[in-house]
Structure 1
């Protein structure tokens, strides 16, 4: 939980930023962040210390993405509900969520986290198979996590008026 709050604080996700991030364009283009980071890190082979430039650009894209797109006309779509579910998940200390959601989301986070050592090893040693395996595990865990966020949001917006207000 502390990790998630630290990430939200680092990205300075306020009410307006969350509203803009609920735009499906923001959600789908956010999936480019990991490949951009991978290529930027791998580019040290070709660029040497200049690889810090694409790395900085990839990190800037990761920070900029939730702010770049306008507030969506509607949040009645899968991508927007995934973002709304993330907000519910981050707020679970104030508004508890059902245990079956919590267990599933922790498991999916663990699947994504399982990819990190493979990705790090592959990038450090410039080996393709661990880099790809790590990326696949991260994406599988994260996309399944987002799908579960939609389910969480749909369940919780029926129970909590504040969450219901986010749907338009």
Structure 2
């Protein structure tokens, strides 16, 4: 089981949840999580321990986001295909992906993780520039990763009946 699969399992991502997350509104609003989390953590400067309240709200938002939107009317959008590609990527230990799709997503995950290290450092030290730099790096890595997932899904959708069934 891949690390990404373990994370998805921790978020209890069922087939229904994945279908709901393929809604472009879910994908788009998911990008609010990091800035809201940063703001919530930064709020400890003026809220102290009460900052755990906004932090908890953001964590709940992160968990509930893929669940609150209905499945999309069509999965033939960039956002939906990104989610479908992510499912293919998570399943790569069972159904291998083509060689040209194996390296870049892993590198982009490292890029995003590196950005998160800057965010964490910035939040710990209240360094706005480190926090902003890290946020930009996280989003650049994540957006490029998502775009690669669209490409992966396009390449894999006709290789497996289940993958093909996700497109409607």
TM-score of Structure 1 vs Structure 2, range by shorter chain: over 0.9
TM-score by length of 2: 0.98
> What is the alpha-carbon distance in structure 2 between the residues aligned to residue 147 and residue 2 of structure 1?
20
Correspondence list, 1:28-107, <5 A: 28-107=28-107
- For structure 2, list consecutive stretches of 5 or more residues without a partner in the other structure: none
The alignment covers a number of residue pairs equal to 168
Counterpart of 1:152 in structure 2 is 152
TM-score by length of 1: 0.98
Structure 1: which 4+ aligned runs deviate by more than 2 Å? none
Counterpart of 1:161 in structure 2 is 161
Instruction: Give CA deviations for 1:66-90 in whole Å, capped at 9, x if unaligned.
Output: 0010011000000000000000000
Shift of 1:2: 3.6
Aligned with 1:76: secondary structure?
coil
Shift of 1:7: 1.1
Shift of 1:104: 1.0
Pairwise CA RMSD:
0.8
Counterpart of 1:127 in structure 2 is 127
Instruction: Give CA deviations for 1:110-155 in whole Å, capped at 9, x if unaligned.
Output: 1111112111110000010000011111100001100000000000
